[in-house]
């Protein structure tokens, strides 16, 4: 059995070099930290957004609700997913030929989303931004998809009212917007989704019967 020593910088001491087992242990610990980061970092923020991946049913419900309401929803060129997690909604939107953006604060999830979307065969490459969803401007987006928590919906509702343009619409997943009246909904347990329009636009659409627009 051989023991390897390395000489320290001051040449006054010798210490054993890290063994292969120790290096593997450190690498494993770093891997565990990286894997756990999406679940642990939300606890450090005021409005915790735990990472709970959207189910296939929930993704399908989002796009079914938009397609169902083709008379009151605008053909979106720039949908955005707030709290995009691992990027499932954004990937699906990109595959439907839209220039989609995901906003996520957890950097491991942002990196994962960028990696999984890097090989998509689509016209518009989706974007993933690492930023606070309450600080990112929503004024240029046509459709906003929200995977939030109950404590976040009230401040997010105020942000939507201040920034959305009149033709925009909102799809809330899991939790409703507390004061807005939904246009339509799909009730499916934890996979339920609700469709909203800004209050002024919703009132105008109700008076005119809505415009003949389509989501393809």
In order of start, what are the domains of the chain with their CATH numbers? 5-44 (no CATH), 56-208 (3.40.50.150)
Cβ neighbours of residue 100 under 8 Å, at least 6 residues apart?
78, 79, 80, 81, 89, 90, 93, 94, 124, 126, 127
Q: Which residue has the tokens 């390897």?
A: 4
Evaluate whether 135 touches 159 at the Cβ level (below 8 Å): no
Query: Helix, strand or coil for residue 130?
Result: strand
Instruction: Pick left, alpha or beta for residue 163 (phi over 0 → left; psi -120 to 50 → alpha; otherwise beta).
Output: alpha
- Give the per-residue pLDDT at 2: 42
Per-residue pLDDT for the chain (216 aa), expressed as one digit of tens each? 444 433 344 444 444 445 566 555 544 444 544 444 444 444 434 445 667 788 999 999 999 998 888 766 555 568 999 999 999 999 999 998 888 999 999 999 999 999 999 888 888 889 999 999 999 999 999 999 998 888 999 999 999 999 999 889 999 999 999 999 999 999 999 999 999 999 876 655 555 555 434 444
User: Angle, to 10 degrees, between the axis of helix 107-117 and the axis of helix 20-40?
Assistant: 100
- Give the per-residue pLDDT at 21: 61
Angle of CA points 116, 122, 136, to nearest 5°: 65
């Amino acid at each position: 059995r051989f023991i390897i020593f390395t000489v320290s910088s001051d040449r006054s001491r010798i210490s054993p070099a890290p063994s292969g087992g120790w290096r593997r242990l450190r690498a494993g610990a770093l891997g565990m930290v990286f894997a756990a980061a999406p679940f642990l970092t939300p606890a450090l923020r005021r409005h915790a957004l735990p990472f709970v991946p959207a189910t296939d049913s929930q993704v399908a419900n989002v796009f079914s609700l938009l397609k169902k309401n083709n008379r009151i929803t605008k053909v979106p060129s720039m949908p955005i997913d707030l709290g995009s997690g691992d990027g499932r909604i954004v990937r699906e939107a990109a595959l439907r030929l839209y220039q989609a953006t995901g906003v996520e604060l957890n950097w491991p999830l942002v990196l994962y989303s960028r990696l999984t979307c890097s090989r998509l065969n689509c016209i518009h490459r989706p974007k993933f931004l690492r930023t606070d969803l309450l600080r990112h401007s929503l004024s240029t987006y046509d459709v906003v998809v929200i995977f939030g928590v109950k404590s976040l919906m009230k401040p997010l509702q105020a942000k939507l009212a201040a920034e959305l343009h009149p033709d925009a619409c909102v799809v809330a997943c899991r939790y409703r917007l507390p004061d807005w009246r939904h246009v339509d909904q799909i009730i499916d347990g934890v996979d339920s989704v609700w469709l909203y329009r800004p209050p002024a636009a919703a009132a105008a659409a109700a008076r005119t019967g809505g415009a003949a627009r389509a989501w393809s």
